[in-house]
């Protein structure tokens, strides 16, 4: 392996480092329950929809949709939420219907929807973005009444001092959602088709877990012989 | 690995002892700080533990572990890129490289700086290659790319490194 000086430098540089001794038991403890928590949460949520999109997500018992299209949207939303909570989806493709929301709240929610997956912004950022920099509290109230939490990511809005702020389903859940997003990759490629997708894309869902590799950017993936998915258009995100 | 899939805690501990230090080395060199590396290795092991049932004997255990680990590390690198772009002038970098032996410190900084100029995918391959002496075929399987791509990426990475080191007065 060592042929020249650069090789030697690299071998020295990459000498094995000791692992912390408590790693194994710690990992085994953490593995318990992560999946169960996601399912328990989804079980307690009721999703409602109009034929145009998801209109309400609240705690409660799930009722079937009023019409065929609404039922299909609800099923789709629940599937996407399930994937999202288990760290297997980095975006929602199901449409939301915010017609019921007043104009100001609509603006706030759309601004919150512009915050990318895995990131967070202060309430003041949202206020500035909708052109009412003084309305920080009103922004908080509007987000607190978010009709479709989780899908419209009001949990990505935090206090300017780094505090978590409030959340409709409780601050503990808000922290947990941010943690999920912190550990969910956004771009994955399938090694058998050499296509790179956003995590959650239908194409990628068909790929076996062992055939998935994570990429840091679409450019990186292209540089090693992958191509971008035509369906989910990953170039928009990274 | 099959024992791990059956929920054998001791088998998992053995696995961690066997591969832990090498995984740590790859993660430390890719992410720069020991704390981030521990976090990444922990997440990777967590994922492997949860997915042990899906493990296929056709793959070497190491190939599989490295795949999971590089997936975690690459995603962490992406996140950093995003963070850096968003908070361009935020607090100074606290991801200083880790030094074990003071005498090597100067040279290590040079290598770390030079490596920062190598494109991400090539850097990942270099780290895997030099920590463990992994062959091209295994590297190709780990990153899901062709052997020829591995070869060209490694060669390109090394030539960029060589140029960067020469500028710094080394090699």
Taking chain B (171 residues) in consecutive chunks of 10 residues, what is each chunk's mean pLDDT? 67 82 85 84 84 72 87 88 56 40 60 79 86 83 88 88 73 44
User: Same structural domain for residues B139 and B60?
Assistant: no
- Of B72, B93, B114, the residue that ends a domain is B93
**B156 inside 8 A of chain A by CB:** no
Rounded to 5°, angle at Cα B73 from B167 and A206: 130
Contact A214 B170 (CB under 8 A): no
User: Same structural domain for residues B137 and B62?
Assistant: no
| Surface of A (42-101) touching B: CB under 8 A | none
Task: Report pLDDT digits (tens) over A218-235.
Answer: 888 988 889 999 888 887
| B10 falls within a domain | yes
How much is the pTM? 0.78
| B99 falls within a domain | no
CA distance A17 to B69: 15
pLDDT of residue B94: 38
The whole-number average pLDDT for the span A25-29 is: 59
CATH of the domain at B36: 1.10.1740.10
pLDDT of residue B103: 52
User: Same structural domain for residues B85 and B114?
Assistant: no
| B82 falls within a domain | yes
User: Same structural domain for residues B16 and B82?
Assistant: yes
From A216, A186, A190, select the one nearest A203 (Cα to Cα). A190
Task: List, by residue number, the catalytic residues of A.
Answer: 154
Q: CB count, 10 Å around CB of A128?
A: 17
Q: How many domains does chain B have?
A: 2
| B78 falls within a domain | yes
pLDDT of residue A64: 83
Count of residues for chain A?
A: 238
CA distance B87 to B144: 32
pLDDT band at A105 (very low <50, low <70, confident <90, very high): very high
pLDDT band at A237 (very low <50, low <70, confident <90, very high): low
Task: Report pLDDT digits (tens) over A127-170.
Answer: 999 999 999 999 999 999 999 999 999 999 998 887 888 888 88
User: Same structural domain for residues B28 and B86?
Assistant: yes
Contact A213 B56 (CB under 8 A): no
- Of B49, B67, B93, the residue that ends a domain is B93
Q: Which of A8-12, A54-58, A227-231, B40-44 has the lowest mean pLDDT?
A: A8-12
**B139 inside 8 A of chain A by CB:** no
CATH of the domain at B119: 1.10.10.10
C-alpha distance from B93 to closest chain A C-alpha (Å): 19
User: Same structural domain for residues B121 and B72?
Assistant: no
From A103, A100, A151, A144, select the one nearest A123 (Cα to Cα). A144
User: Same structural domain for residues B86 and B119?
Assistant: no
DSSP state of B27: H
What are the structure tokens assigned to A100, written together?
A: 């019921």
What are the structure tokens assigned to A133, written together?
A: 């920099």
- Of B93, B126, B143, the residue that ends a domain is B93
- More confident: B17 or A16: B17
ipTM of the complex: 0.74
Residue ranges making up the domain that contains B55? 1-93
User: Same structural domain for residues B89 and B117?
Assistant: no
Measured between beta carbons, which residues in chain A are less than 8 angstroms from residue B144? 189-191, 194, 211-213
| B98 falls within a domain | no
Question: Would the CA dihedral through A183, A187, A190, A194 be positive or negative?
Answer: negative
User: What residue ranges define each of the domains in chain A, with the CATH number in brackets?
Assistant: 41-85 (no CATH), 103-183 (1.10.10.10), 187-236 (3.40.10.10)
User: Same structural domain for residues B46 and B129?
Assistant: no
User: Same structural domain for residues B35 and B58?
Assistant: yes
Task: Report pLDDT digits (tens) over B73-107.
Answer: 998 888 887 666 555 433 333 344 444 444 555 66
Contact A210 B161 (CB under 8 A): no
pLDDT of residue B90: 36
What are the structure tokens assigned to A189, written together?
A: 């490629």
CA distance A48 to A66: 9
| B100 falls within a domain | no
Over chain A, what HEC string results?
CCCCHHHHHHHHHCCCCCCCCCHHHHHHHHHCCHHHHHHHHHHCEEEEEECCEEEEEEECCCCCCCCHHHHHHHHHHHHHHHHHHCCCCCCCCCCECCCCCCHHHHHHHHHHHCCCCCCCEEHHHHHHHCCCCCCHHHHHHHHHCCCCCCCCCHHHEECCCCCCCCCCCCHHHHHHHHHHHHHCCCEEEECCCCEEEECCCHHHHCCCHHHEEECCCHHHHHHCCCEECCCCCHHHCC
Q: Which of A52-61, A135-144, A186-195, B83-92 has the lowest mean pLDDT?
A: B83-92
User: Same structural domain for residues B27 and B89?
Assistant: yes
User: Same structural domain for residues B70 and B26?
Assistant: yes
| B27 falls within a domain | yes
């Amino acid at each position: 392996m060592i042929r020249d000086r650069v090789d030697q430098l690299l071998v020295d540089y990459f000498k094995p480092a000791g692992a912390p001794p408590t790693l194994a038991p710690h990992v085994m403890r953490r593995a318990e329950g992560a999946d169960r928590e996601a399912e328990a949460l989804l079980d307690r949520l009721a999703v409602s929809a109009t034929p145009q999109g998801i209109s309400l997500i609240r705690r409660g018992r799930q009722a079937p949709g009023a019409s065929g299209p609404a039922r299909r949207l609800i099923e789709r939303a629940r599937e996407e939420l399930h994937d999202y909570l288990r760290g297997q989806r980095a975006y929602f493709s199901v449409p939301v219907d915010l017609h019921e929301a007043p104009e100001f709240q609509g603006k706030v929610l759309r601004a919150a929807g512009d915050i990318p997956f895995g990131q967070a912004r202060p309430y003041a950022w949202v206020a500035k973005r909708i052109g009412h920099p003084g309305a920080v509290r009103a922004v908080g109230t509007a987000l607190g009444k978010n009709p479709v939490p989780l899908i419209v990511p009001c949990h990505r809005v935090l206090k300017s001092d780094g505090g978590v702020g409030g959340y409709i389903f409780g601050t503990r859940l808000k922290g947990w959602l941010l943690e999920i997003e912190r550990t969910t990759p956004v771009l994955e490629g399938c090694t058998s088709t050499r296509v790179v997708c956003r995590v959650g894309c239908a194409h990628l869902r068909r790929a076996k877990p062992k055939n998935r590799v994570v990429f840091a950017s679409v450019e990186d993936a292209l540089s090693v012989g992958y191509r971008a998915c035509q369906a989910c258009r990953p170039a928009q995100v990274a | 690995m099959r024992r791990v899939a059956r929920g054998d805690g001791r088998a998992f501990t053995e696995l961690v002892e066997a591969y832990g230090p090498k995984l740590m080395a790859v993660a430390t060199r890719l992410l720069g700080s020991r704390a981030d590396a521990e976090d990444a290795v922990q997440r990777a092991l967590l994922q492997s533990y949860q997915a042990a049932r899906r493990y296929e004997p056709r793959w070497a255990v190491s190939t599989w572990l490295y795949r999971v680990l590089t997936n975690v590390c690459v995603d962490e690198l992406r996140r950093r890129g995003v963070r850096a772009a968003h908070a361009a002038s935020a607090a100074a970098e606290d991801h200083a490289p880790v030094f074990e032996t003071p005498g090597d410190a100067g040279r290590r900084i040079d290598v770390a700086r030079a490596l920062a100029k190598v494109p991400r995918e090539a850097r990942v391959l270099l780290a895997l290659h030099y920590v463990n002496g992994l062959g091209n075929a295994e590297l190709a399987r780990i990153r899901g790319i062709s052997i020829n791509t591995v070869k060209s990426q490694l060669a390109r990475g090394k030539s960029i490194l060589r140029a960067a080191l020469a500028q710094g007065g080394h090699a």
